[in-house]
Structures are given as structure tokens and as C-alpha cells.
Amino acid sequence: MIYLLQGNLSVSDSGSYLPVAIQVLFVVGLIALLIFLTHILGPKRKTADKLQSFASGIESHGDARQPMAIKYFLTAILFVLFDVEVIFFYPYAVIFKELGWNGFLAVLMFVGFFLCGFIYILKKGALKWED
């Protein structure tokens, strides 16, 4: 077994994955052991205060199923969507000279789709807060 861990094998040999498999087995076993031990050794006092739902220390009141405006969530989702799209510009900025005109046209097409989506959002009134 020590021979296998020394790394004298070629890269294509499946035995070179043995150290990784040992580490994965060790981690999974350690996690299972720790979860089992905390379940067995942990306290089991169930009081009314512990079973009550907790929301940042604020007393809960009312029904959680009442309708609410989704403008905040819509704006947050749109921000994440457009933020992720902007991240795609960084790899292009690094190798724009190697991509040439084909890469430039691909980025123009990407920006065109990006702008079409933004114009659609503006026309639908997703960013109007006066409601």
C-alpha cells in the first residue's frame, strides 16, 4: 500500500487515485462519526421555548401566508441576473486580442441579447416602485 501512495505510477493508471479515495473515505467517515456523536452525547431537553419558532429574536405575529409585494425580490433577482451576465465580460477582456473579429461579434451579440432583456424589463415596468 505504501508503494501506491508514493506516486510512482503513471497518470493514466487508476491506482493514482487511491490517495484521493482514501481522503474522501476518511472525510465521510469523520463527518458520520461526528454527527453520530453529537446526536448521542448532546442534550435532549425539549422545552416549550426551544420548540417555538425563532425569527431573529422578534416575537412572531400574524400569518406568514399573507400576500406581499414582490418588488424587492424581483429587483434582487434582476440584479443577480445582470451581475452574472457582466461577469462574462472579464474572460473576454483578458483575451480579446486573440479572439479577433469573431470574438468581437460574439460579444456584440451577447450585449444585444443583454440589452433586449433589459429593455423588456423596463417596458414591463419591473423597476417602477410607485405601485
% of the chain residues with pLDDT over 90 = 20
32-39, long-range: CB < 8 A, 24+ apart: none
Query: In a 3-state reduction of DSSP, which class is residue 79?
Result: helix
Averaged pLDDT, 104-128 = 85
Query: In a 3-state reduction of DSSP, which class is residue 98?
Result: helix
pLDDT, tens digit, 9 for 90 and up, residues 8-57:
555 567 778 888 999 999 999 999 999 999 999 988 888 887 777 766 66
Averaged pLDDT, 79-106 = 85
* Region for 72 from its dihedrals, namely left if φ exceeds 0, alpha if ψ lies in -120 to 50, beta otherwise: alpha
